Structure formats: C-alpha cells, structure tokens
Structure 1
Amino acid sequence: METENVSTVRFFWVTFLNVLITVVEILGGLLSGSLALLSDAFHNLSDSASIVISYIAQRIAIKPETPQRTFGYRRAEILSALLNAGLLIVIALFIVIEAVKRFMHPDHVNGDIMTVVAVVGLLANFISAGLLHAGSRHSLNIKATYLHILADGLSSIGVVITGIILIFWHVKWLDPVVSVLVALYIAYEALPIIQKTINILMQAAPDIDYDAIKKDITSIPQVNSVHHVHAWLVDEHHTMFSAHINCEDIKLSEVEPIYRQISKLLQDKYHISHVTIQAECQRGINEKMFDIDRD
C-alpha cells in the first residue's frame, strides 16, 4: 500500500533532488565561504545515502517468512532506521566541531550566494518531504529518512535567514551559530528514533497493560491464572506475546476454544499480532506473571 510503502518512483525523485541539492550547495558553500551551507550540503549527501538504504530495507522487509527467518525480514527497516539516525548524530557532531573552528577563526561569508543557493535547497527539501510524508507515519525506517529531509529544510531556512542578514550586516559569528543550532535540532530529532530502534532490537517489552491482560485472561471460564509471560516487538507494528495459563483439568479439545478466545481478545483489544499460549493444570500455578520482579 502507498501509505505503508513509499513507491520506487518517489524514492527515485527524492534521491535525485537530494543529489542535485548536494552538488549545488557544495559549490555554493565553497564560493560563498559559508559553513552553514556546506553543513547543509553534507547533510543532504547523507540524506541521499539514507534514502537508498531506506528503499533497500523496505524491499527486504516485505520478503516472506522462510524456515531460516520464521519472523520474516521486518527488522531490516529497524536496522535501517538505526543506521540513518546514527548517521544524523555523526553529522551533528561534525557540524558542531567545524562551527567551533569557525568561532576561533571566522571567515567572510558572501550572503548573496548563500541566500540564493539556500532558497533552491529549501524548495527541493519541501518537495522531497512531501513525497515521503505519507510513509513516515507508518514506518520508523521512512520516518528516519523523512526527518533527514525535514532537518535539511529547517537548516535551509536558517541558512536563508542568515544569508539575508549577512547581505546587510557582516556578522561573522552568525554563520557558525546557525550551524550549531541546526546540529542540535538534528540530534534532537534523531535520539528518540535511536532509543526506539534499540528497544526493539533488544526485544524490550511493548507498552501495554499487563495487569489488565491478566485480568481479562483469567476472567475466561476455566482459566485460573497466568504466568511465564513474554512480550516483544518484531518491528514497530508487530507485537509478539507468549504465556502459560493454568486451567481446570479438562480435555485438550476443550482447551483449544480457550486458545482461540485468548488470541482474539489479545489481537482485538491489545493489537497483539502473534499469540502463543501453553496450557497447564497445576504446574507453575503459584508462579508470578513474569519470571522476574517488575518495578
């Protein structure tokens, strides 16, 4: 679906626009002497790599499950999001280091060239962001790339404003200050993605109400308790859940309807994608819901 997967055509045009912006801004940055413009250019260069990585990851993620990959390849997009967000942090650090050097040794900046080039970059970034907007709401992978583009748009706005100011006033410290602000914004947007992707890769428990789940499951007739619970995310959309339940001493044929009822409950109410239940009679009946104490 187009809302979930960004088309090849859109990826192509976003990549083309970013490569074009990169070339124009590198030339403009060298001619104008603007660190902010060069920073924006390198950021756009990273966007191009990010877009290619995102596209490849998206194609890999839709491959079906195999005997070797029983959960499929969905985490390819999570790895891509982590890589892209990490790249943003590296770029932010690079910009800050260069900005500090400029503070110590300020250079003259040509505001006219800087402004014209930044306006071209700003327009191209807005077009690229529009092409990726729909997919960014459904995928951490596309969101990471989308944030690359938005950060570029914001930095381009900062460069435009800086260029206009420098046309009239030669404030040498303004260019590195804008560069640092852009770097801080890039890091601010990237860190939450890094945190979320690491949580998924570390199989952290999703944010669901386990006490409510226990109450709902044990309210089912012939289910006495729940223990040995595990829940984790394969990606940001697919939650896995497994648990042991203690039932009355009933036939296996009578347990199967309970399985179906629990699975439907967890899928409909808690949006859990895959449910695995093991029924027991007395074994583990006094165990806690989790193998370890929760805070």
Structure 2
Amino acid sequence: MHEDSKMSGLKFLLVTALNALITIVELLGGIFSGSLALLSDAFHNLGDSASVVLAYVASRIGLKNSDPSKTFGYRRAEIIAAFINAIFLIVVSAFLVIESIRRLLNPAPVDGGIMLVVAIVGTLANFVSAWLLSRGAKSNLNLKATYLHILSDALSSFGIIIGAIIIQIWQIDIIDPIVTILVSVYIVWETWPVLKEAINILMQAAPNLDFEAMKADMLKEPGVVNVHHIHAWQIDENRIMFSAHINLNDQLLSDVEPIYRHLESLLQKKYHVDHVTLQAEVFRGKSNELFTRDQHDI
C-alpha cells in the first residue's frame, strides 16, 4: 500500500463511530417518520460500519510480509475486502429498489419534518466520514470501495433532505421511494467499476499493457533473439508482476546477467512493472509466439 493510502486506526475508529451513530439516529427517525428512505439508509449505514471494520482489518493484514505460505505477501486481502464491500453495496441497492417499488404501489404517509432533521444529521456525519477516507481512496481499491460506501450514504442523505422538503411543502409522499430508487441506481453505477477491477485482479487478468511494444523494446537489447510465453498480472491495484521467456545467443551465464538487468530496468521504468521474472533459453521456444497456449505452458 502506498504511504499516503495508509489509514490510522484512529481515523477508522472515528468513521466507524460516526456510522454507528448515524445508523441509530436514522433507524429511529425512519420508524417514527414512516420514511422508507431513512430506514433503507440506516441499514446501508449499518453495512458501512461493517465495511469500515473489514477495510481496516484487511489493510492491517496487507501490511504483513511475505512468508513460505504466501510468497507474494498478503496484499490481496484488501482486494478481497473491496470485492466483498462492492457485492454488499449492489445487493443492498437491489433490495432497496424492490422495496421502493412496493412502496410506490402502496404509498404510505411520511412525516417530512422528522425525515428532514434526521437526514441533515446523516448528511453532515457522512460527509465528515467521506472526508476522512478521501485521501487514501485515490490509490487504494480497498479504501476506494469503503469510501464509495460512505460517499453514497452522504449523497443518499442529501437526496432524502430534498425529498423531505418536497414532502413538507407539497405532501407528495411518493417522493420518498423515488429518492431511494435514484440513490440506489447511483450507488450501483459507482460501485460497478470497483467490483470489476477487484474481479480482474483476483482472476489475475492482464493489466493494461502494450505487449507488442514491450516485445519490440526487449528485442532491441543486444543478444535477445525472441520473446515468448509472456504473463502479466497484478497483486493489487498498484503492483504489476511480469514474466517472460527470452531466447538468447548461446553464451556464458555471466554474460546473461547484464541483459537481465537492462531488461528489468526497461520494464520497470517504461512500463511500471514492479516485479520481473525472465527465463533465458537458446533453442527452446525460439519460434513460439508471444502468448503460448499449450496446456503444459500454463
């Protein structure tokens, strides 16, 4: 994890405490006002509290050094946490849309006054939590998923404020489930890219690299005859791993090491690869393509 993405235990504690407070306030406010939007936001905040705890635990696990059982380290723990949080957000949003449709078909009276006061409290608290998480969310998928949790709640609460004002002035109770649906759709829209990236990393999908250009650059190194059997994947959203077989002229191993160093430097500086593994060969695979598809080469 980058230094600026690390979150102190105190910040996590503050965000968790704020979310627990919001949950209680909105739960009571939803019961007494009859607002589905407040009740749904209360359960959403309850999930946020769990997501913050999960994010913190995952971030601590991710700091552990590699060992014989986890030779690449534990940084995937944060990706798993981001995946779980994103799935939870989408499931909750789907549930809220279903409940909102039911409320649209069977409207119920809503106390706009209570709804407005509670929504203002929730909005302020959520924006404070989002601000606390905002810095680390820029470069850490785990914190980004958690940040989206909090930010979506802040926007949800803001939407509830607007809905409460409309209910207070014009007594249009149907606006309550409409606001809930709009916020839920927005949450899914913002969460989907996080879920997609988490799945790609967990599935070891290739990062966005120009492999043909990489091969062309590697072939410019004196002595390199062919490049094949390339693999590239990510440990987390910041670290790219790369391996390849390179065909060289028949030479001493001591002469191969400078070629390794030059290629590693090229890949790290130009393509931002963090870990490079190269296998030198003379004749084996000399005519193979960039990506080998044979089962024994997987």
Alpha-carbon offset, residue 292 of structure 1: 3.7
Counterpart check, 1:74 vs 2:75: yes
Take 2:202 and 2:170, find their aligned partners in 1: how far apart are those partners? 50
Question: Aligned Cα RMSD in Å?
Answer: 1.1
Deviations 1:79-121 (A, max 9, x none): 0000000000111011011101101211100111000000000
| Map of 2:132 onto structure 1 | 131
Off by >6 Å, runs of 4+ in structure 1: none
Take 1:3 and 1:221, find their aligned partners in 2: how far apart are those partners? 40
| Map of 1:122 onto structure 2 | 123
Deviations 1:148-195 (A, max 9, x none): 011001101110000011111111211111010011011111111111
| Map of 1:40 onto structure 2 | 41
Take 1:94 and 1:142, find their aligned partners in 2: how far apart are those partners? 24
Counterpart check, 1:140 vs 2:141: yes
Take 1:289 and 1:269, find their aligned partners in 2: how far apart are those partners? 19
Identity of aligned residues (%): 55
| Map of 1:276 onto structure 2 | 277
| Map of 1:29 onto structure 2 | 30
Take 2:50 and 2:130, find their aligned partners in 1: how far apart are those partners? 16
Q: AA paired with 2:78? A: E
Alpha-carbon offset, residue 290 of structure 1: 0.4
Take 2:227 and 2:202, find their aligned partners in 1: how far apart are those partners? 26
Take 1:3 and 1:291, find their aligned partners in 2: how far apart are those partners? 39
| Map of 1:249 onto structure 2 | 250
TM-score, normalised to structure 1, is: 0.98
Counterpart check, 1:163 vs 2:160: no
| Map of 1:215 onto structure 2 | 216
Take 1:122 and 1:209, find their aligned partners in 2: how far apart are those partners? 44
Q: AA paired with 1:219? A: K
| Map of 1:85 onto structure 2 | 86
Deviations 1:198-254 (A, max 9, x none): 111110011011111001100000111100111111111111111010111111000
Take 1:79 and 1:287, find their aligned partners in 2: how far apart are those partners? 36
Counterpart check, 1:176 vs 2:173: no
Take 2:150 and 2:107, find their aligned partners in 1: how far apart are those partners? 28
Take 1:28 and 1:252, find their aligned partners in 2: how far apart are those partners? 73
| Map of 2:197 onto structure 1 | 196
| Map of 2:265 onto structure 1 | 264
Judging changes above 3 Å, is the alpha-carbon distance between structure 1 residues 245 and 11 closer, same or farther for their aligned structure 2 residues? same
Take 2:218 and 2:126, find their aligned partners in 1: how far apart are those partners? 50
TM-score, normalised to structure 2, is: 0.97
| Map of 2:66 onto structure 1 | 65
Q: AA paired with 2:57? A: I
Take 2:3 and 2:92, find their aligned partners in 1: how far apart are those partners? 30
Q: AA paired with 1:163? A: A
Count matched residues: 293
Take 2:253 and 2:69, find their aligned partners in 1: how far apart are those partners? 31
| Secondary structure at the counterpart of residue 31 of structure 2 | helix
Take 2:5 and 2:98, find their aligned partners in 1: how far apart are those partners? 38
Q: AA paired with 1:20? A: L
Q: AA paired with 1:22? A: T
Q: AA paired with 1:149? A: I
Take 1:122 and 1:48, find their aligned partners in 2: how far apart are those partners? 16
Alpha-carbon offset, residue 2 of structure 1: 5.3
In the alignment, structure 2 segments of 5+ residues that lack a partner are: none
| Secondary structure at the counterpart of residue 3 of structure 1 | helix
Judging changes above 3 Å, is the alpha-carbon distance between structure 1 residues 2 and 213 closer, same or farther for their aligned structure 2 residues? closer
Q: AA paired with 1:71? A: F
